[in-house]
Homo-oligomer: A and B are copies of this chain.
Amino acid sequence: MPRGPAPARRVTIIDVARHAGVSTTAVSKVLNNAYGASSQMQAKVRAAIDELGYRPSASARGLRGQTYTIGVMLPDIRNPFFADILDGINAQLDGTDYQVLIAASCNNEPGEAHVTDAMIDRNMDGVILIAPLTSRQRLERIAGTMPTVVVGRHGHSAVYDTVADDDFVGAGLIVAHLAELGHRRIAHIEHHETNPVRLIEMPNAVRADGYRHAMRAHSLGEHIDLASTTYTQQGGYLGAKQLLARPQRPTAIFAGADIVAMGVLDALTEASLSAPADISVAGYDNTTFAAFGPISLTTVDQAGNQIGTNAARLLLDRISDNNRPTTQVKLSPTLVVRRTTAPL
């Protein structure tokens, strides 16, 4: 079936001006709540806008100034933890004129570069980058182009704000919990990392560090045991397989992320083992999945929602004043004990 005729021309600011019997300048001023429009004029213009169903073109606006668009770069749309962050962002931006647009699944540096370039090209008013792998230098270049908030990555920048969770402390919470339950052979599945900067800044590396530090603090240094894979379900599965094959099998596995813990549970099931009867398992993130009854995963709550609201607030602040000093928000994680961990 053929489509109809070409759609009618869009209503422009000129149509509104003509309809209201004023200048386009006046309409623009009303749209932007700018100084210099009598309340009488405001009323006339608003009436015309409503009658004509006028909506400003973001492209045209972008050519001169703002696009009222905020970009969020998400590394992995399947990790439900990111959904919590998004909820926080949306909650904070709800009611403002900004529209959040997400670019997902850019899980490597070239992919991230592609996405951030696309956001710059589209004149976005600001971006929130979630757990980016991108080099510091490039991050600062991006932040030099548009207001930027980096989420989930440690380190301090003079050009972008950051929001992160204290992963070092969080990892310690898990180790302390397991040690208290009597576990000594506590293994950790980490996201493999060699890049020296990321080794300091990425949450996965900080968690691994926190794990090592806490193990030593509990005099368990000799039992430090890492499986180095990725923060994915598959990574958890492979990591668990490695650990289960050790001559001295660990009695507890601390997975670096809930999604990793899922992979661990998967591997346990496959090996006819279960948590916590055979092995205690802990995750990190407290995703909705972890709370799910049949799983009931012990984990660390990062308050994804708060991370999101903080990131959005910082971004709005920076959009309104790009010269303010940068802020580093560091949130404190809390332990959530559920049913996958038990006394040895």
Given A118-B99, A294-B266: A288 in contact with B323 (beta carbons within 8 A)? no
Contact B101 A3 (CB under 8 A): no
Contact A105 B122 (CB under 8 A): no
Q: Is A295 an interface residue (CB 8 A)?
A: yes
With CB as the reference atom, state the residue of chain B lying closest to A296: B269
Given A4-B144, A57-B121, A63-B63: A292 in contact with B262 (beta carbons within 8 A)? yes
Instruction: State the Cβ distance, A335 to closest chain B Cβ, in Å.
Output: 22
Contacts of A55 in B (CB 8 A): 117, 120-121
A102 to B288, CA, bound (A): 22
Contacts of A108 in B (CB 8 A): none
Contact A59 B62 (CB under 8 A): yes
Number of identical monomers bound together in the oligomeric complex: 2
Q: Is A307 an interface residue (CB 8 A)?
A: no
Contact A1 B266 (CB under 8 A): no
Q: Is A7 an interface residue (CB 8 A)?
A: yes
Q: Is A293 an interface residue (CB 8 A)?
A: yes
Tell me the residues in window 1-30 of chain A with beta carbons closer than 8 Å to chain B beta carbons.
1-4, 7
A279 to B322, CA, bound (A): 59
Digitize A65-103: 1 where CB-to-B-CB distance is under 8 Å, 0 elsewhere. Answer: 001010100000110100100110010000000011111
Q: Is A300 an interface residue (CB 8 A)?
A: no
Contacts of A99 in B (CB 8 A): 103, 115, 118, 122
Contact A3 B326 (CB under 8 A): yes
Q: Of the candidates B121, B288, B296, B326, which one forms a contact with A1 in the assembled complex, judged by CB atoms under 8 Å apart? A: B326
Q: Is A265 an interface residue (CB 8 A)?
A: yes
A78 to B81, CA, bound (A): 9
Contacts of A87 in B (CB 8 A): 105
Contact B104 A103 (CB under 8 A): no
Q: Of the candidates B58, B80, B105, B269, which one forms a contact with A78 in the assembled complex, judged by CB atoms under 8 Å apart? A: B80
Q: Of the candidates B69, B158, B294, B296, which one forms a contact with A2 in the assembled complex, judged by CB atoms under 8 Å apart? A: B158
Q: Is A145 an interface residue (CB 8 A)?
A: yes
Instruction: State the Cβ distance, A77 to closest chain B Cβ, in Å.
Output: 5
Contacts of A63 in B (CB 8 A): 57, 59-60, 63
A144 to B101, CA, bound (A): 23
Q: Is A233 an interface residue (CB 8 A)?
A: yes
Q: Of the candidates B69, B86, B270, B296, which one forms a contact with A122 in the assembled complex, judged by CB atoms under 8 Å apart? A: B69
Q: Of the candidates B4, B80, B120, which one forms a contact with A159 in the assembled complex, judged by CB atoms under 8 Å apart? A: B4
Q: Is A56 an interface residue (CB 8 A)?
A: yes
Contacts of A59 in B (CB 8 A): 58-63, 67, 122-123
Contacts of A118 in B (CB 8 A): 58, 99
Interchain Cβ contacts under 8 Å between A and B, 28 examples: A1-B325, A2-B158, A2-B323, A3-B159, A3-B326, A4-B159, A57-B62, A57-B121, A58-B118, A58-B122, A59-B62, A59-B67, A59-B122, A59-B123, A62-B62, A67-B122, A69-B122, A77-B77, A77-B86, A99-B103, A100-B103, A101-B103, A233-B292, A265-B294, A266-B294, A269-B293, A269-B294, A289-B289
Question: Which residues on A are within 8 Å of B, measured CB to CB?
Answer: 1-4, 7, 55-63, 67, 69, 71, 77-78, 80, 83, 86-87, 90, 99-105, 115, 117-118, 120-123, 144-145, 158-159, 233, 262, 265-270, 288-289, 292-296, 322-326
- Counting from the closest, the 7 A-B pairs by CB-CB distance are A59-B62, A269-B293, A266-B293, A1-B158, A102-B102, A101-B101, A99-B118
